[in-house]
Amino acid sequence: MERAVLAVLEAIGDDPGREGLRQTPARVARMYQKVFSGVGEDPRRQFSLFRVPHQDGIVVVKDIAFHSMCEHHLLPFFGKVHVAYLPRDSRVTGLNSLTRVTDVLSRRPQLQERLTNDIADALMECLRPRGLLVVTEAQHLCMSMGEGDKYGTTAVSSAARGAMLSLPRRREALLMMNLPHTVAKGSNRPGRPRASHRKSGHGRNARRAAPRKA
């Protein structure tokens, strides 16, 4: 890893021997261990469940922070994950488990859409809810740095499963998440269980507006 960072510093034309850069390869190597600690990890491990009698309505956990690395540019994208689910047999989970799933799946080269779907799939397996909605909101540094004036653009992605494929359920969940502006505009319809959508940013719309180098 240190050799690879050294090679990058040389390739960009800087002097890896100068004072400020001398320890950089070692520092980046240590940092990358943490940033990519989710590679090869199983998000379903250490998932805890408990029962809350008669908890049959939608449960929402909002604003789970995440930091990930865009696999196209190896630059950070970061933001929040919101989870809404309809418990089965009064089974619920805690913030720790949701945070752990999010950490494991975000600390690896990722794409926002896949992160959203990966979290949904892991939670469907561990929690077996009647329905699930995962929404991620993120800023992508490859957008703000690569194309100049895109600071503050937020990309939104969602994944619905089971009973949350029904529009009224999803609308209720989004209202509880305080994200009414995200209420479906046609995507994520029943019958398209894997669909995810974005409002702007790192996706197709953004690329159409400003083609960017790969």
CA distance 89 to 70: 37
How far apart, in Å, are the Cα atoms of 121 and each of 98, 140, 177? 13, 23, 20
Least distance in angstroms from the C-beta of 90 to Zn ion: 41
Give the type of residue at 67: H
What's 98-113 look like in SS3? HHHHHHHHHCCEECHH
Is 73 a binding residue for Zn ion by CB under 5 A? The answer is yes
Interaction between residue 114 and Zn ion (CB under 5 A) = no
Task: State the minimum distance, in angstroms, from the CB of residue 71 to Zn ion.
Answer: 8
CA atoms within 13 A on the CB side of 25: 15
Give min distance, CB of 133 to Zn ion, in A.
25
Among the candidate windows 1-9, 27-35, 67-75, 114-122, which touches Zn ion by CB under 5 A? Answer: 67-75
Tell me how far, at minimum, the Cβ of 201 lies from Zn ion, in Å: 10
* Paired tokens of 208: 């159409």
Q: How far is the CB of 157 from Zn ion (least distance, A)?
A: 14
DSSP notation for 47-62: --EEE-TT--S-EEEE
Segment contacting Zn ion by CB under 5 A, of 28-36, 69-77, 88-96, 172-180: 69-77
Residue 133 near Zn ion by CB under 5 A: no
If binding is defined by CB under 5 A, does position 142 make contact with Zn ion? yes
Residues comprising the chain, all counted: 214
Residue closer to Zn ion by CB (options 123, 138) is: 138
Burial class (CB in 10 A: 0-12, 13-18, 19+), 167: middle
How many Å apart are CA 58 and CA 160, to the nearest integer? 13
Site string for Zn ion, 82-101 (x = CB under 5 A): --------------------
Residue 179 interacts with Zn ion (CB under 5 A): yes or no: no
Size of the site for Zn ion (CB under 5 A): 4
Does residue number 62 form part of the binding site for Zn ion (CB under 5 A)? no
Is residue 70 part of the contact set for Zn ion (CB under 5 A)? Answer: yes
Which parts of this chain interact with Zn ion (CB under 5 A)?
Answer: 70, 72-73, 142
